[in-house]
Structure 1
Amino acid sequence: MTRARSQRPAPGSRVVVIGGGIAGLATAALLADEGYAVTVIEAREETGGRAGTWERDGFRFDTGPSWYLMPEVFEHFFALLGTTAAAELDLVPLVPAYRVYAEPEGDGIGDHLDVVSGRAEATALFESREPGAGARLDEYLDSAADAYDLAVSKFLYDTYASSEGLRDPDILRRIPTLAPLLTRSLNRFVDSRFQDPMLRQVLGYPAVFLGSSPYDVPSLYHLMSHLDLDDAVLYPRGGFTEIIAAIERLARERGVEVRTGTAVAQILTAADGSARGVRLADTSEIAADIVVSAADLHHTETVLLPPERQTYPERWWRKRTPSFGALLILLGVEGELPELSHHTLLFTRGWRENFDAISGRDTHIPDPASLYVCRPSATDDTVAPAGSENLFVLVPIPADPELGRGGVDGAGDAAIEAAADRAIEQIAHWTGVDDLASRVRVRRTIAPADFARDLGAWRGNSLGLAHTLGQSALFRPGNASKKVPGLYYAGASVLPGIGLPMCLISAELVVKRLRGDTTAGPLPEPAAPTG
């Protein structure tokens, strides 16, 4: 087992990180802490990438992630830098964790329930809707917790640079248990245990956080329910850009230079094929001993590298599955909205049809759609003027830039704005806020064409490569180029996967690569300071 730390980098060893999203900033902070001289190059005027922000008329919106899950991953990352999540963020537990509305049968509001985190609360809720479901959920969550612990200790922090992690005796002993979880869909796993439609949807919807549907992700991912039902759902006061600000602050404190409004046009290679720096859009060059691209992997491979240097050329991508696309609707609303929780989910009766519309053969924007609403103003008085509400609506849609672009105050493409109108009407009808549309004072839409243009997202996807079986763990793109020594990757399309915690782990995997560490677990944390 290779855990020995390699030599510290030679004095003056230079790293260029492409992309100032969470993965790029986290990689920069960790490498600077290792002793490298790091420069981050971000094409946009602000850092954050998908975890961006937008402000207007006193409303401040997150434009990306909004669920703070896997808190121990954040804690571990901050510990590597000698601090804590509590010191860097103001985290608030959400009670309830979220609210769920079902599609109404007629003109009334939909059947709804509040999900409160905690084993006792969750099992009581399930039992209240389906006799015997509480005990079955107890077993389900035991299995989810076990799968989650296995994933964190054996899979998520593995670079797969060697097969030693996969040969771990603990994994080999558990193959009879793991095999069915990998070969059966999450939907089948849930439906075999529960009958109530809303309970099935509560357990199946986390697949969307993985960029896919419960019909396509393996049932191993039932581990996601451990995070919201067993564990807790938190919120960083000030919004998710506070996470970005904290990591950028830690990076700058370690000497990282962050350049925004600067696009990389090419990754440069030396005569021996190794990375030697980047060429910027203005034709100037930055020399480096190591290049880390935290930009979209498709863009990195097919635009920034010549064909002979591409580990993942265009033909590779033809057989891959992007995450769902997204229609984001940012709404500043006059008056209060107690009908909505901080997190609210609306689930359609046509569950299978909804997902088929997004990723089936005849893709289109589903109507009605199973969608998500975040109301951060329920918890945070800094995101909206007094007496008003901040709403972030996410409608999962196909990953297809041809669907169009969004805009401000209805200025987006017609199909996108019409879909946004339908979503607002749906929220109003299902939750009993009939005058919602008339109370909207600020509106902006963001669509797949915006993800493609602004973030370089392959096919306009919203999250990265979907977590299908063939795109998870050792089957997911690795964190090191096979064609360009000294070129590494971080972000949502490489190991270990989608989401802010996964991006933090991907940054750590770059460090493990450079240290020559092939162990499957996280890096050892430095001893906490005493006194």
Structure 2
Amino acid sequence: MKPLRRVVVVGGGVAGLATAALLAADGHDVELVEKNDDLGGRAGSWERDGFRFDTGPSWWLMPEVFDHFFRLLGTSTAEQLDLVRLDPGYRVFFEGVPGAMDVADDAERNQALFESVEPGAGAGLEAYLESARTAYDLAVDRFLYTSFDHPRAFLDRRVLARGPRLASLLGRDLESFVAARFADRRLRQVLGYPAVFLGSSPDRTPAIYHLMSWLDLADGVRYPAGGFTRLVDVLARLARERGARLRTGVTATAVLTHASSPRGADRRRARVTGVRVVDADGTESDLPADVVVGAADLHHVETRLLPEQLRTFPQRWWDKAVSGPGAVLVCLGVRGELPELAHHSLFFTEDWRSNFDAVFEAPTRVPDPASLYVCRPSATDDTVAPEGHENLFVLVPVPPDPGIGHGGEDGAGDAQVEAVADRAIDLVASWAGVPDLAERVVVRRTIGPADFVDGVNAWSGGALGPAHVMRQSAFFRAGNSSRKVRGLYYAGASTVPGIGLPMCLISAELIRKRLAGDTSVGPSAEPPRPAPRSQAGASESSAASAEPVVDAS
């Protein structure tokens, strides 16, 4: 058994909290430091006048990843959270097309939906989802739960048998892959939109990621009662219960190292010795560590906390990298009901290629009109808004450019940010048929790309992280172990396996695997669950589990 280590985790977002929980559960001495006063990172929240807004992730996909993670900690998703399956999964409004399209929570009804739009598209979707499911299962089994430090990820007979098919999917973009199968613009957009979850666009994302459509069109979309901040609360509690120390208002200023003599094939120049931090009152101290996990933005960790000679990903690496989009976020408390909107609603412009080019191609510009996303959690959860009111969260993709500015409350943000918000509100009002939407707003807050820099040290003001273009996907994505400093690792959206809450949980498990010397390519073996008790005891247990551990009130 490997000796237990002193671990310092930098960053209290989902990846940092998950890493702290897993490593503490394994018996390591874990201390986590977070510069902000609240935990959660990009999975943030904001409250005012009885409204509570999630300001980050809002789609619960890949439920089996959460299930596996919680089982590693000896519990379950059902014991920790109350998940609601959404139906419709989401609603889509299309520019120039009256009405909206409701995407159901199961494949059979979505096949009927596609068939009603385009003859033959129902059977086409069935085949498409079968391919997506195959690709998804292969990804989970062979490519997500690995750091790609052993060739066995590629030597599995299923991978070798599908080699030509995988090469074709990696060498082709998602947009053309979809267009070859469906003619109707609306269907193409529904199938192409998952690229945005990956911080990219359909024409820039490899076709292998058509696997994402299995998640929303067949596996369904869920919502944790009380909002996504409940996940943050759960992760923090589980980490503390297992012995991790979580400290907020503590800023990491340097990863401390000591020069080392390379041993054997290990050519790294230094070994980690700790982290220098500054408390809220300005007191500086050093936290000794055998292992440091940079779960903050990778660009920040590499270019701000390490000297230049010890950077695996120096600034010149980032100069060639591709950021995911920035975002203007708009939190709206609205008087009265909004049945015109589902829990999730998407608004797609007709020429959305120009939207993506505006965000990703130099010179960048804020798209107008912009395709956008609206979350109405009050459709599902009566705890997020006062009675008789609605909670709306609007996300407008913009270039990853801090120069667009900061947001603010009640129109007090920078001019460009507020202008984006005004146009978004007008678009939603017009397309969804809510002409008095702006007049009904009683709470408003905007968040701009500069706020992502201030809040989470986001590289280039990006809202998600490095985009999943081909050269930043799978084994091409930034690795999770420093090549210059022994004992320094990385977790979160910037590194493998990538963007999204499930990926952040997996990135934490990859750190656990590294410390355990586990080079397997699939999910880790789960501890056995306690044996069922007697019939009477089992009945009591079922009754107790009917109430979620996390209070959703």
Is the shorter-chain TM-score for this pair beyond 0.5, marking a shared fold? yes
Q: Deviations over 1:114-171 (max 9, x none)?
A: 0002121110000000000000000000000000001000100011122221222321
**Cα offsets for 1:271-330 (capped at 9, x unmatched):** 321111101133211111111010000000000000111000001111100111111000
1:4 counterpart residue number? none
User: Structure 2: how far apart are the matches of 1:317 and 1:364?
Assistant: 21
Paired letter, 2:127: E
Are 2:77 and 1:93 aligned? Answer: no
Q: CA deviation at 1:456?
A: 0.4
The 2-side partners of 1:275 and 1:354 are apart by 44
The structural deviation recorded for 1:111 is 3.3
2:212 corresponds to which residue? 224
Contact 1:186 1:214 survives alignment (8 Å): yes
Q: Does 1:259 align with 2:247?
A: yes
Query: Partner of 2:271 in structure 1?
Result: 274
State which of 102, 125, 130 in structure 2 corresponds to 1:137. 125
Q: 1:75 aligns to what?
A: 67
Matched, 1:306 2:307: yes
CA distance in 1, matches of 2:158, 2:500: 27
Map 1:207-246 to 2 at 5 A: 207-246=195-234
What displacement does 1:9 show? 2.9
In structure 2, what is the Cα distance between the partners aligned to 1:488 and 1:529? Answer: 33
- Which residue of 1 is the match for residue 504 of structure 2? 503
TM-superposed CA distance for 1:528, in Å, is 1.1
- Counterpart for residue 192 of structure 1: 180
Q: Distance in 2 between matches of 1:362 and 1:457?
A: 21
Q: Which runs of 4+ in 1 moved over 3 A?
A: none
How far is the alpha carbon of 1:351 from its aligned partner? 1.5
**Pick from 137, 148, 170: which aligns with 2:158?**
170
In structure 2, how many angstroms separate the alpha carbons of the residues matched to 1:189 and 1:22?
A: 33
- Paired residue for 1:340? 341
Letter aligned with residue 159 of structure 2: I
1:50 aligns with 2:42: yes
Mapped partners of 1:40, 1:8: distance in 2: 22
Residues of 2 paired with 1:308 and 1:155: CA distance? Answer: 31
What is the rounded CA distance, in whole Å, between the counterparts of 1:426 and 1:119 in structure 2? 30
Q: Does 1:297 align with 2:285?
A: no
Structure 1 match to 2:6:
14
CA distance in 2, matches of 1:343, 1:354: 20
In structure 1, how many angstroms separate the alpha carbons of the residues matched to 2:286 and 2:326?
A: 34
Amino acid at match of 1:433: V
CA contact (8 A) 1:55 1:61 kept: yes
- Bigger shift: residues 113-122 or 65-74: 113-122
**Partner SS for 1:318:** helix
Aligned to 1:399: 400
Indicate conservation of the 8 Å contact 1:8/1:34, yes or no: no
SS in 2 for 1:491: coil
Q: How does 1:449-460 map to 2 (within 5 A)?
A: 449-460=450-461
Q: CA deviation at 1:8?
A: 4.2
Aligned length: 519
Q: Give the letter aligned to residue 291 of structure 1.
A: V
Identical-pair percentage: 61
Match in the other structure for 1:383: 384
Whole-angstrom distance in 1 between the partners of 2:54 and 2:18: 19
Distance 2:361 2:314 in 1: 25
- Indicate the SS of the match to 2:493: coil
Equivalent residue for 1:157? 145
Q: Where in structure 2 are there 5+ consecutive unaligned residues?
A: 261-269, 533-553
Are the aligned partners of 1:9 and 1:34 in contact in 2 as well (CA < 8 Å)?
no
SS at match of 1:67: coil
Inter-partner Cα distance in structure 2 for 1:519 and 1:286: 32
Matched residues in 2 for 1:462 and 1:361: separation?
A: 18
1:384-434, Cα deviation, whole Å (9 max, x unpaired): 000000000001111011111111111111011011000000000000000
> Which whole-Å deviations, capped at 9, do the CAs of 1:59-88 have from their partners, x for residues lacking one?
000000000000000000000000000000
- Which residue identity does 1:479 align to in structure 2? N
Q: Which residue of 1 aligns with 2:489?
A: 488
Distance, in Å, in 2 between the alignment partners of 1:65 and 1:28 is 20
Q: CA deviation at 1:172?
A: 1.5
Alpha-carbon distance between aligned partners in 2 of 1:393 and 1:9, rounded to the nearest angstrom = 48
Aligned with 2:193: secondary structure?
helix
In the alignment, the residues of structure 2 paired with residue 292 and residue 268 of structure 1 have an alpha-carbon distance, to the nearest angstrom, of 12
Q: 1:104–1:111: 8 Å Cα contact kept in structure 2?
A: no
> 2:468 maps to which residue?
467
AA matched with 1:100: V
Structure 1 unpaired stretches of 5+: 1-6
Q: Which amino acid aligns with 1:235?
A: Y
Paired residue secondary structure (1:165): helix
In structure 2, distance between residues paired with 1:263 and 1:483: 23
TM-score normalised over the length of structure 2: 0.93
Q: Could you list the per-position Cα deviations for residues 171-190 of structure 1 after superposition, in whole angstroms to 9, with x for gaps in the alignment? A: 12211111111011100001
Contact 1:8–1:35 (CA under 8 A) maintained in structure 2: no
**Displacement, 1:350?**
1.1
